[in-house]
Amino acid sequence: MLTILPVPILKDNYVWLGHDGAQAFVVDPGDAEPVEAALAALGLNLATILLTHHHADHTGGVATLAERWACPVYGPDSIALVTRPLHDGDALVLDDFGLRFTILAVPGHTLDHIAYFADGILFCGDTLFACGCGRLFEGTAEQMQASLARLAGLPDDTRVYCTHEYTLSNQRFALAVEPDNAALAAREAADAATRLRGAPTLPSTIALERATNPFLRWAQPTVAAAAAKHGATNGSPAQVFGAIRRWKDIFV
Ligand code: ZN
Ligand code: FE
């Protein structure tokens, strides 16, 4: 039986920790110490590290953890600490956990970004957030829109494990894009209550993101109209997405 729980690290990152009661894997350990504490508290052995992209808040704990646990490190081959490089379309089977991941290249936030998809589970790093998406540090709007379209096409009930708790600030922007989206308003109210309790708003689901995330909703007339006011030169998905992304970059 697989359990997946968030280990909060740094300011607003989550390391996702999967375990079966004995063996564990972690995704994007940007800091070793909180991960070690979680492993110790649950009596777990770290068997595998998965990485989505090269940023320090996702990789800062890898050297310490990989040495201490002598475990393999899967991820993009741009990262020196990766011992098992992964590429688009690869299958990654983690027998201990009954997981078979398909690797999806999702460039945009960074060029090396990958996501891990298994039945019902998506580890998407800084590509897709709850009601948001990663900034375009390395890729183009065209690349990111195509990456997000791939993720949006996954099954509705796929749980989305993002790596930052940005939900409420994303929703403030999302409501500026789509003030009349009732599903978004309802979600914002529920997530605000969740944060008041100090609980994570994640994981999300693909269905919920498709209904409430403006960065997946380029086909909606309201979103396209908002994009047109913020520099989109036509209604193409990449233009609409790119304009909404640039607007968010300066939104206060
Ligand atoms: Zn990042
Ligand atoms: Fe990050």
Query: How confident is the model at residue 123, as a pLDDT?
Result: 99
Q: How far apart are CA 76 and CA 97, in angstroms?
A: 22
Residues of the chain with pLDDT > 70, as a percent, come to: 100
pLDDT band, very low/low/confident/very high, at 83 (cuts 50, 70, 90): very high
pLDDT band, very low/low/confident/very high, at 31 (cuts 50, 70, 90): very high
Please, what sign has the CA dihedral across residues 38, 42, 46, 50?
negative
Q: Closest ligand to 108 CA?
A: 1
Whether 58 is catalytic is yes
Mean pLDDT computed over 188-199: 98
**Annotated catalytic residue within 55, 112, 113, 191:** 55
Query: How confident is the model at residue 127, as a pLDDT?
Result: 98
HSE, CB side, 13 Å, CA atoms: give it for residue 177.
32
Whether 164 is catalytic is yes
Q: Can you give the pTM of this predicted structure?
A: 0.98
Confidence check: pLDDT of 202 > 90: yes
* 156 C-beta neighbours (distance < 10 Å), count: 11
Q: Closest ligand to 53 CA?
A: 1
Residues 219-234 have pLDDT tens digits of 999 999 999 999 999 9
Mean pLDDT computed over 56-80: 98
How are beta strands 84-85 and 73-75 bridged, if at all?
parallel
Q: How far apart are CA 107 and CA 112, in angstroms?
A: 6
CA of 19 to the centre of ligand 2 (A): 23
Query: How confident is the model at residue 67, as a pLDDT?
Result: 98
pLDDT band, very low/low/confident/very high, at 252 (cuts 50, 70, 90): confident
Query: How confident is the model at residue 247, as a pLDDT?
Result: 98
Residues 101-156 have pLDDT tens digits of 999 999 999 999 999 999 999 999 999 999 999 999 999 999 999 999 999 999 99
Whether 55 is catalytic is yes
SS3 of residue 122 by DSSP: strand
Q: How far apart are the first and last CA of the chain?
A: 43
Query: Phi-psi category of 198—alpha, beta or left, where left has phi over 0 and alpha has psi -120 to 50?
Result: left
Whether 113 is catalytic is no
CB 215 within 8 A of CB 245: yes
Q: How far apart are CA 98 and CA 21, in angstroms?
A: 13
How are beta strands 121-125 and 159-162 bridged, if at all?
parallel
Report CA-CA distances (Å) from 82 to 32, 59, 76, 153: 16, 10, 7, 28
Average pLDDT for the chain: 98
